[in-house]
Amino acid sequence: MIFKQTWLILLLLLWCTGAVAERVSGLYEAAVPVVGQGAEARAPAIREAFGQVLIKVSGNRDLLQQEDLAKRLKRAPRYVQQYRYRMLEQPLSDDPAPVVDSENPLPDRLLWVRFDEKAVNRLLREAGVPVWGGTRPSTLVWLTRDAKGRRTLYQQDMEPELATAVTETADQRGLPVVMPLMDLEDRTALQVSDLWGGFEENIRRASQRYLPDVVLAGRLHRQGRRAWSGDWTLYLPDGVEQWQIQGKSDLALAREGVQRAVDLLAARFAPQSASQGVEALRIRVSGMLNLADYVLVKDYLRSLVMIEQLDLLAVGPEQVSFLARVQGGREALERGILLGGVLESVVTSDEVVEAEASPPEDFDVQSLDYRLRQ
């Protein structure tokens, strides 16, 4: 009894402290190429960077087509928290031998801008746009190409441009991606025929060493000098999504393949009903044996962007209950928790649930039951 009382006191003392759980970094910052450091170039660059951040944070690449948000770009400087310049080693150009034009010089530096997180989130929610938080699915990307009848697995040392196209696009959308090492273990575990045949079991098994949340497989097929087609499969925890795209190059297919994958993941894991208001849910977590377990769970739940407020309800033997005010509803919360790998869903009988402090009467509270993964 004394131990339990001491633990409860320590929990209450720790409630407003503790570290924030690890999240995807860089969601509220962007870098834009500019010419010089003058205000004339900086103003439009900040607007462009702000647009990139809004897309990255919301997960919606068509966001700026909304008239209201397009107008907000003019107010981008109000949201700036910090900016700085970095010189480029050489001017940016798609032409390997660009012609110097004194009237239209090429960008010679990058303007890096960080925007205020709370202000950006508030702006999006006021516009009825979901905010996709920093807990995002880690994605392993397998690629294979068919050029002139020869099918090969992607290897970074031979095709670095392909890896750059994937990782840069993913970074622009705020998606954590991993490219396979393609070492002996990978080449033994996965064959070219597995990807082209879409053998799901083999692909998932070969991916296990990287512990991804989802797996993206792209099959790039050359059809002509400037004609490629791509068949893409996204292996989710509970299903599969497939699509096909056309492009002028394998790099174009890689970029668009990642873009489509992010579109699907955002639609699935970002809270999609920002306009419906806040719902209160009780979260019961069992399997917590010590203070370290409690701090882990508390910080993890607080890191989920759909949880606007988290309050401690009750402490029982190996179990803690929270009251969460959730943006986007129960489904958004369940999907967010699924990704983290910290908690697993359980079915808890009402008879074994300890007496708890009652939540506010003006909320119709449902309960979600989880257990800490050990």
Report domain extents, the chain. 29-93+105-126, 139-268, 273-372
Of the pLDDT bands very low, low, confident and very high (cuts 50, 70, 90), residue 362 is very low
For the segment 286-303, the average pLDDT, to the nearest whole number, is 88
Record the pTM. 0.76
Q: Please state the rounded mean pLDDT for residues 10-25.
A: 48
Phi, psi of 84 (to 5 degrees): -160, 165
The predicted pLDDT at position 83 comes to 97
Mean pLDDT of 204-222: 95
pLDDT band at residue 9 under the 50/70/90 scheme: very low
* pLDDT over 60 at 190, yes or no: yes
Mean pLDDT confidence for 227-248: 95
Same fold, 139-268 and 273-372: no
Work out the mean pLDDT of the chain and round it to a whole number. Answer: 85
Q: Is the pLDDT of residue 98 over 70?
A: no
Q: Does domain 273-372 have CATH number 3.40.50?
A: no
Over residues 255-268, the mean pLDDT reads: 95
Among residues 59, 268, 339, 22, the alpha carbon closest in space to that of 172 is found at 59
Q: Does domain 139-268 correspond to CATH entry 2.40.30?
A: no
